[in-house]
Chains A and B, each alone.
Chain A
């Protein structure tokens, strides 16, 4: 699996936007970019994923660079509840999903702190 690089930690103020970067310079053409987050004392939680185009959902937006070597998770208005470790993960687009395709390779992620 291609590797991702994220800052170890970031800080934000409540109600301000947060941009969480991820570099993935060795991404292949079929790799999807997934983001998960893990709140304290909870299991990881799916946030968003995309392939080439920018994506929006109720939780966040995902901006993908044109060359796909980097992406940014955008939280439009951070709340205290958004304080978590955010993981950027590349996942192969093998459509059979079988074998270890379901295995998400979690790196260290970015620990986001949100200040009131």
Chain B
């Protein structure tokens, strides 16, 4: 089954403790991205990647890092999490070509205390 898998689904942690949210897709998509969703602000893009070793900032990249060493994986790294990064995070991927639909994971709810 074609899917985007995120782990963990839920995480409660403390300020400053590095964490990584993994994202994997099995559709051989070149394009992957991370979004965060906050009440009243909707979904906003954090980072995106057009292919292996090619990443770029989205609209709200501060405090986040990403890497794309393999086509299927696109982890989101919070080196020193802060409470304002408490949010619901979604990973997405899509195929190349004009207007291909994006496939989203089921989300990761992060709480930074």
Contact = CB atoms under 8 A, between A and B. Distances in A.
A109 B42 CA distance: 9
Contacts of B90: 43-44
B86 interface: no
Contacts of B92: 43-44
B42 A44 contact: no
A111 interface: no
Contacts of B94: 102
Nearest to A104: B102
A97 B96 contact: yes
Interface residues of A, number: 25
A90 B97 CA distance: 16
Contact of A102 (B43, B48, B59, B107): B48
A36 B99 CA distance: 13
B43 A95 contact: no
A17 interface: no
Contacts of B97: 95, 97
10 contacts: A41-B106, A43-B106, A43-B107, A95-B97, A97-B96, A100-B58, A102-B33, A102-B94, A103-B45, A103-B48
Interface of A: 32, 34, 36, 41-46, 49, 91, 93-95, 97-100, 102-104, 106-109
Contacts, number: 63
What size tier do the contact residues of chain B reach?
Answer: 20 to 34
Q: Which 10 A-B pairs have the closest CB atoms?
A: A43-B104, A46-B101, A106-B43, A95-B98, A106-B42, A103-B45, A43-B90, A44-B104, A102-B31, A32-B99
Looking at A46, A91, A100, A102, which has the most chain B CB atoms within 10 Å of its CB? A102
Nearest to B58: A103
A46 B102 contact: yes
Contact of A49 (B45, B50, B101): B101
